[in-house]
Structure 1
């Protein structure tokens, strides 16, 4: 069953009230301690579980990111399929400003910042090059939907000085309990194949397109999953102990939506293994996806 904590998250985030949303992500890293320390120091994530080979990090008691290592781990090439970025969603612009000032005071190197019309986003990378987005959504009533149900997005300038000036002078209190993984952005080998898989198989709607990228979502969100070929055109399947994205979860709030996806998977003879968490499968590039049932 969905617990009270998850229900509170859903009440405050449009992204998490959709029939499908992103649950958590799992990265394989070479230096577990260094990478974990970065997410704790820069993003303020708390350690929820720890073992010799892995650490689960989260906010408000909710798991968001698993980091693990293994004996045969090897750095993935920049052109490999896998992660473009994990996107941590904050509830409002004030929280984004407070976090940004905190990160700036730490001397964090930022990779960029953009106003996407539906959201405001800041980009950075962890010590092993895994991309990170920290963002806040505008209210859906402020978004522009087209007649076909897609949404207008852009990559406009974000005034970071204005954002910094809005930060609380008392300092950052850490991530709010409502912090979530709002979306995950992937590197894939072929956009048309991503369209076929994420729309045709998993039943998400393509909400926007950029040159070399598609953005997919459930329930009129701007995107829960994005896929691009900007670094990874024609990339094949991930192999062995590659660093980067091992797998991520798509959590279903609608049991009928999950049943429909499982029927499609069965009809296409795409293997989906039943696990304690849900149903695990691989996308066309070997990225693991777990479909989590509403009562999981």
Structure 2
């Protein structure tokens, strides 16, 4: 078995193929509120939060006018945007609901709370926040016990 990579390595960004760049930007910037950091005409754009160079790249290089992959295809399951607080996740829920975008799911995993939806190109998107580690569910031996149960959306909405 190979040695593990450096423990501070992390996913820096994801780059998505989209069919319509303006439509994708309407979702990622208009609905979710990410900032546009750079755009290359109708071919590519980079969006981010907090002044980072880009968390998400969007391009039409191989996908202009294309269709979403059919069910049963391989590829990206979802990208996940981590929000710093429950109030920030509640704001994300408000934005999604005001845009009329349906949730595909909403789960409480014990360690996190997550909202699941699709972008206009059918890519899975998870919007979530981690609970403080001291609140993570553990068994009697102290082992982490992740769960999946229904997220209390009414309780989340009350965080606004």
State if a TM-score over 0.5 links the two structures.
Answer: yes
Higher relative contact order (CA 8 A, sep 6+): 1
Alignment partner, residue 58 of structure 1: 48
- Are the counterparts in 1 of residues 32 and 95 from structure 2 also a CA contact under 8 Å? no
1:118 corresponds to 2:111: yes
- Give the 3 Å change call, closer, same or farther, for CA 22–147 of structure 1 in structure 2: farther
- Give the 3 Å change call, closer, same or farther, for CA 144–159 of structure 1 in structure 2: closer
Aligned mates of 2:102, 2:125 — CA distance in 1: 12
Counterpart pick for 1:23 among 7, 12, 35: 12
Q: Deviations over 1:249-271 (max 9, x none)?
A: xxxxxxxxxxxxxxxxxxxxxxx
Q: How many residues align structurally?
A: 150
Which one has the largest radius of gyration? 1
1:164 corresponds to 2:157: yes
TM-score (ref. length: structure 1): 0.47
Aligned mates of 2:153, 2:51 — CA distance in 1: 30
- Give the 3 Å change call, closer, same or farther, for CA 19–150 of structure 1 in structure 2: farther
Unpaired runs of 5+ residues, structure 2, are 1-6
Alignment partner, residue 130 of structure 1: 123
TM-score (ref. length: structure 2): 0.84
Cα deviation, residue 113, structure 1:
0.2
Q: Deviations over 1:65-88 (max 9, x none)?
A: 000012565433322211111100
Aligned mates of 1:132, 1:150 — CA distance in 2: 29
Counterpart pick for 1:82 among 75, 81, 85: 75
Cα deviation, residue 148, structure 1:
9.8
Runs of 4+ off more than 4 Å: 71-74, 145-150
Alignment partner, residue 230 of structure 1: none
Cα deviation, residue 150, structure 1:
6.3
Cα deviation, residue 64, structure 1:
0.7
Aligned mates of 2:101, 2:19 — CA distance in 1: 21
Cα deviation, residue 92, structure 1:
1.1
- SS where residue 155 of structure 2 aligns? helix
Cα deviation, residue 103, structure 1:
2.2
Unpaired runs of 5+ residues, structure 1, are 1-17, 168-296
Aligned mates of 2:15, 2:50 — CA distance in 1: 18
Alignment partner, residue 87 of structure 2: 94
For the aligned residues, what is the CA RMSD?
2.2
- Give the 3 Å change call, closer, same or farther, for CA 108–71 of structure 1 in structure 2: closer
Alignment partner, residue 33 of structure 1: 22
